[in-house]
Amino acid sequence: MRLSCEVDVVNRLLPSHNVRKAKRGCHAQVSLGRKPAASASRSGSQLFLMVCTAKDRNGAKYVIKNNVSQVFAKFVSEGKATIRFKEPEQDLCLSKADPLQLKSLLSLVRAGAQGQDLDRVTLSSLAPASTKQVEKPRTELTVTSRKEYPVTSRFPASLEVLTVHSCGMKRLDPRILHLSRIHTLDLSLNALTSLPDDWGRLSCVSTLILTDNQLSEIPSALWKSQLCETIAVLDVRNNHIATIPLQICELHKLACLRLDNNGFDSLPPTIGKLTNLKELAVAQNKIKVLPAGFAQLRLENLDVSDNPFDLSVEGVTGEERLVFPTLMECVARAIRKYRIPYTEEDLFPQLFHYLAAARQCWCGNFCFTCSARYFSHVSLRHLVSNSYSASPGITTAPIEGFLCSQHCLTRFKNNPRAYWRN
């Protein structure tokens, strides 16, 4: 029985001698077994817990039977536990361990401490650990050319940061989808045209960088998987994304969004729902007007340079469309209002595409064709707390919004700069 984890040995006598613990824990291999000399006659042989580190590959051994005073396993599901020995008076603090393996080890330690028979359990021979077994797991890997790409070898399962640059990758390597500890994934400067819907175990990614690829759309897996609750930085600059989907506003933890140089002409009308967004870059696109929800953002940094803003538009248009909504409109409004989940297979095509054109009124309700449109201007300086970048001479941006009813139209005309909710 072997376990790779972080180990911190705490001597309980140090505080009584007014001595502080000098060093921190280190990576180690923890083994439970019997000495090789006693393997021939297991009955009556002593059971040991051995801790091998890079500095001590032969390992420190602790007797198990009648020598474990307590096992602290409250946080075993997080890969943490503490084993308290009677002699020597030390605590073995384990962390960063596989929860299932740790739980199994603690179960055997308890059984061995009580003198139970473990002859049917496969135990370690307590041989000295190899260098590979005690070296610290690799958490970062950077690949900058095809020659460096691990074709025949595996990606280390312990990776937390993976950077793959300039490798001409056209499809995502399936092995990357099984690196469950990754929190930063950088796949820039490749030739990716799409990403798979199945993100495997990528449930911890908070930073996703896909700049300088050939993507034509933002991967839908971002809001169809657990990534919806983890993504904080999304960078898709220098791609060919023609449309920013409405669902991107469901990434509630998104703090940094970079969409420069893609060629889209509008932002989602519900962008104001990104309450944690602090940095937004949409330079070098074809945006003429910004959605009204843009004014709800509280940004620290903003870049809207090199966009063909149309500052001449202002006022209300399409008042004649504010009639009683059709059945199609009523159904679509209900689906959006109550956030009813759906896929393309659940709805007939006309309704599915109709839902993609959702607009949000300032009252909070969604509307579609039955709506009036208004234009206004907003000061860029009032939207940011630090700095903003815009084309020369541009200090304001045009805002486009929609009104879902005659009631909202009247309220808007009475106070165009107000913001309300039902």
Domain boundaries, the chain: 2-37+46-134, 140-310
53: helix, strand or coil: strand
Q: Please give the Cα distance from 161 to 342 (Å, whole number).
A: 34
Confidence tier at 331 by pLDDT (50, 70, 90): very high
* Residue 36 confidence (pLDDT): 65
* Residue 43 confidence (pLDDT): 45
Task: Flag whether pLDDT at 95 surpasses 50.
Answer: yes
In the CATH scheme, what architecture does the domain 2-37+46-134 have? Roll (2.30)
Q: Which letter does DSSP use for residue 200 in this model?
A: T
Question: Rounded mean pLDDT of the chain?
Answer: 87
pLDDT in tens, 385-397: 888 999 888 889 9
Q: Please give the Cα distance from 369 to 57 (Å, whole number).
A: 72
pLDDT in tens, 65-85: 999 999 999 999 999 999 999
Instruction: Give the lowest-confidence range in 24-28, 158-162, 308-312, 344-348.
Output: 24-28
94: helix, strand or coil: strand
Confidence tier at 420 by pLDDT (50, 70, 90): low
Confidence tier at 203 by pLDDT (50, 70, 90): confident
* Residue 421 confidence (pLDDT): 62
Q: Are strands 161-164 and 140-143 parallel, antiparallel or unpaired?
A: parallel
* Residue 422 confidence (pLDDT): 52
* Residue 227 confidence (pLDDT): 85
Q: Which amino acid is at 18?
A: N
* Residue 39 confidence (pLDDT): 46
Q: One fold for both 2-37+46-134 and 140-310?
A: no
Q: Provide the percentage of residues in the chain whose pLDDT is more than 70.
A: 95
* Residue 22 confidence (pLDDT): 56
Q: Which letter does DSSP use for residue 85 in this model?
A: E
297 vs 419, more confident: 297
Instruction: Give the lowest-confidence range in 16-25, 320-329, 403-412.
Output: 16-25
* Residue 85 confidence (pLDDT): 93
Among 242, 230, 379, residue whose Cα is nearest residue 302:
379
Instruction: Give the lowest-confidence range in 15-19, 181-185, 224-228, 293-297.
Output: 15-19
Q: Which letter does DSSP use for residue 131 in this model?
A: H
Question: 307 with 313: CB under 8 angstroms?
Answer: no
Question: 80 with 105: CB under 8 angstroms?
Answer: no
Q: Please give the Cα distance from 92 to 104 (Å, whole number).
A: 16
Which tokens hold the place of 13?
């006598």
Strand partners, 164: 143
Q: Are strands 366-367 and 359-360 parallel, antiparallel or unpaired?
A: antiparallel
Confidence tier at 19 by pLDDT (50, 70, 90): low
Q: Are strands 299-303 and 279-281 parallel, antiparallel or unpaired?
A: parallel
pLDDT in tens, 291-305: 988 888 889 999 999
Instruction: Give the lowest-confidence range in 122-136, 349-363, 405-419.
Output: 122-136
Instruction: Give the lowest-confidence range in 33-47, 141-155, 212-226, 349-363.
Output: 33-47
Task: Flag whether pLDDT at 344 surpasses 90.
Answer: no
Q: Please give the Cα distance from 330 to 421 (Å, whole number).
A: 20
Looking at the domain that runs over 140-310, which CATH code has it been given? 3.80.10.10
